[in-house]
Amino acid sequence: MSGKRAFLELLKQEGVDIIFGNPGTTELPLMDALAVESDLRYVLALQEAAVMAMADGYAQASGKLAVVNLHVAPGLGNAMGMLYDAQKSGAPILVTAGQHDQSFNVTEPILWADLPTIARPLVKWSSEVHRLADLPRLVHRAAKTAMAPPTGPVFLSLPGDILNAEGDVDLSAPTRIAPRVRGDRTAIEAAAALLAGAERPLIIAGDAVAQGRAHAELIELAEMIGAPVYAEFVPNTASFPASHPLFRGTLARLAPAVRAVLEQYDLLFSAGGDLLTLSLPSPIEPIPDGLAIIHLDVDPWELGKNFPARVAILGDPKATLPEISAAVRHRMTSGDRGRAGERLAAVSKAIRAEREALRAKAKAAAGQTPVQAQSLFQALGAMLPRDAVMVEEAVSSSPGLRQLIDSDDPQSFFGLRGGGIGWGLPAAIGVKLALPDRPVVALIGDGSAMYTCQALWTAAHDRVAVIFIILNNSSYRILKQRLNALRGHAAQTDVYVGMDLVDPAIDYVGLARSLGIAAERTRTVAETIDLVGKALAAGAPMLIDVTLDRSFKPM
């Protein structure tokens, strides 16, 4: 068997059905093998950042191994920003790149560099194949490592001489590490003792809850102790059903805002929640003194990483939460149960009132032009079918999004965890490829869309029916907000250098149409909703460029 054929057979053994890539000469052996391959689909993206983010969306939405194939050092280089995002979201991706023949590399040919070294800081494991006989072991090791909790990207360099070599190849077989690791019994009892008697508990729900499909298990615990559930600081999954009465929305990424919330509580239970990825330094400690922390996570690195945990449990939420709930139930006195019941009623009532107020405010502004983002989200929330999947890179427009659009099942929402913008537009394509029967709506900032707008061509070419909504405030609004808050020269002179996307205004409609996507500009919520309805019915990709309010100063 040839190396190139063996590689494809190995991927199929690993359950792979799509390779996301952008080819060059060093990938030609692979492209040659794909010419006679019918079980693996090659999805071409026209820039490597788009390739990587598509694979990320696909991996997250499918829970399966995604495969990426890039072109030597510049191809890998272009993909690095999105590889960073994939690392932060723990997307299981086998990133591969073609390399020159090993005997040629000593001359330092064009595009050559030491690829595993470049990829290494952003992946769980990084290597190169040096003998055809090692190819199966290394591919299986790569796939096993990417899929092992905590999941994440891995890198494998594929020299041309390995792909072109012929020999007897034993394909061997995949390994999957069973993910349902149960937490330590003693730690579970210690956690239960704290939870049963807590006066003012809160829960932060993280990605592991959605990835492990543990909504029901977390709901059981939250209702039992009457605790509100916050989405973690940078939510990139629906870690809790948005319409549940205890869902309190997303915490901010700034220490003072986090502290203001946490000060209301005496016990924090983090179910795989991120503690804490903040976006700016602050002299204010986000965690108040006296807030006890119970931290459950699939990744030992995250446990107590920044703040000491009173109880740290290494375990999978799906497997461990029922044991915690059982232990809490066993320990709760009738007094505890009474107080928890009162909390459940009071917290649900407060959350309902808050949500209704937010909805009413958004509705009241629905006729305004330019469009207010929250009014658009409210209207979308009211019209989208229950199985709609949101992909979010709304940046400064994101507050309130999770409360205004009900994303209720674990695959119903994907957001930008890593912070490297340009992720959302291609990620939405990957999500739709993973969930072809569900409507996928991507909410993308105008600035963010420009990093990877080439992905629109892939949506057109591969008929991937995503509805792309460009939240167009013709600016890097979040940067203006942050710069204004610094109260420096920019705030005094009202000059914001490098943050206005005007003169010329970007023609997203023309851009999308040039790449084969139907597109329209809208100036009202009503027009936008009307178009979304038409796009849903058409089942084809569409871009809607919504002119948003660009004001950024606090009222």
Ligand X SMILES: Cc1ncc(C[n+]2csc(CCOP(=O)(O)OP(=O)(O)O)c2C)c(N)n1
CB-nearer residue toward ligand X: 269 or 451? 451
Query: How do the residues of the chain divide into helix, strand and coil, expressed in percent and rounded to 5?
Result: 45, 15, 40
* 448 touching ligand X, by CB under 6 A: yes
Closest residue to ligand X in the complex (CB):
445
Q: E strands along 394-458, which residues?
A: 413-415, 440-445
Residue 228 three-state SS: coil
Q: What is the DSSP string of 134-184?
A: GHHHHHHHHHHHHHSSSP--EEEEEEHHHHH-B--------------PPPP
The stretch near Mg ion (CB under 5 A) out of 146-154, 311-319, 366-374, 467-475 is 467-475
* 447 touching Mg ion, by CB under 5 A: yes
**Tokens, residue 197:** 């008697």
DSSP H or E run through 189: helix 185-196
Q: How far apart are CB 42 and Mg ion at their closest, in Å?
A: 33
* 426 touching ligand X, by CB under 6 A: no
d(CA 91, CA 52): 11
Strand bridging mode 93-99 / 154-159: parallel
Cβ atoms of 176 and 141 closer than 8 Å: no
Phi, psi (degrees; rounded to nearest 5) at 491:
-65, -40
CB-nearer residue toward ligand X: 11 or 471? 471
Q: How far apart are CB 64 and ligand X at their closest, in Å?
A: 26
Residue 317 binds which entry of ligand X, Mg ion, none, CB below 5-8 Å type-dependent: none
The stretch near ligand X (CB under 6 A) out of 238-246, 292-300, 402-410, 444-452 is 444-452
Residue 312's DSSP bridge partners are 295
* 446 touching Mg ion, by CB under 5 A: yes
CB-nearer residue toward Mg ion: 412 or 522? 522
Give residues 69-128 in contact with ligand X (rule: CB under 6 A).
81
The stretch near ligand X (CB under 6 A) out of 187-195, 204-212, 381-389, 468-476 is 468-476
Q: How far apart are CB 523 and Mg ion at their closest, in Å?
A: 16
Q: How far apart are CB 372 and Mg ion at their closest, in Å?
A: 14
Q: Which residues touch 427 (CB under 8 Å, ≥6 apart)?
A: 53, 54, 56, 57, 60, 391, 393, 414, 416, 442
d(CA 321, CA 219): 10
* 419 touching ligand X, by CB under 6 A: yes
CB-nearer residue toward ligand X: 78 or 99? 78
Residue 296 three-state SS: strand
Among positions 58, 247, 476, 508, the unique one binding ligand X when judged by CB under 6 A: 476
The stretch near ligand X (CB under 6 A) out of 109-117, 141-149, 240-248, 389-397 is 389-397
Phi, psi (degrees; rounded to nearest 5) at 67:
-120, 135
Cβ atoms of 95 and 119 closer than 8 Å: yes
Q: How far apart are CB 446 and ligand X at their closest, in Å?
A: 4
3-state secondary structure 312-346: EEECCHHHHHHHHHHHHHHHCCHHHHHHHHHHHHH
Q: How far apart are CB 445 and Mg ion at their closest, in Å?
A: 4
CB-nearer residue toward ligand X: 398 or 411? 398
* 445 touching Mg ion, by CB under 5 A: yes
* 475 touching ligand X, by CB under 6 A: yes
Give residues 302-361 in contact with ligand X (rule: CB under 6 A).
none
CB-nearer residue toward ligand X: 417 or 477? 477
Residues of this chain that bind ligand X (CB under 6 A): 81, 395-397, 419-422, 445-448, 473, 475-479
Residues of this chain that bind Mg ion (CB under 5 A): 445-447, 473, 477
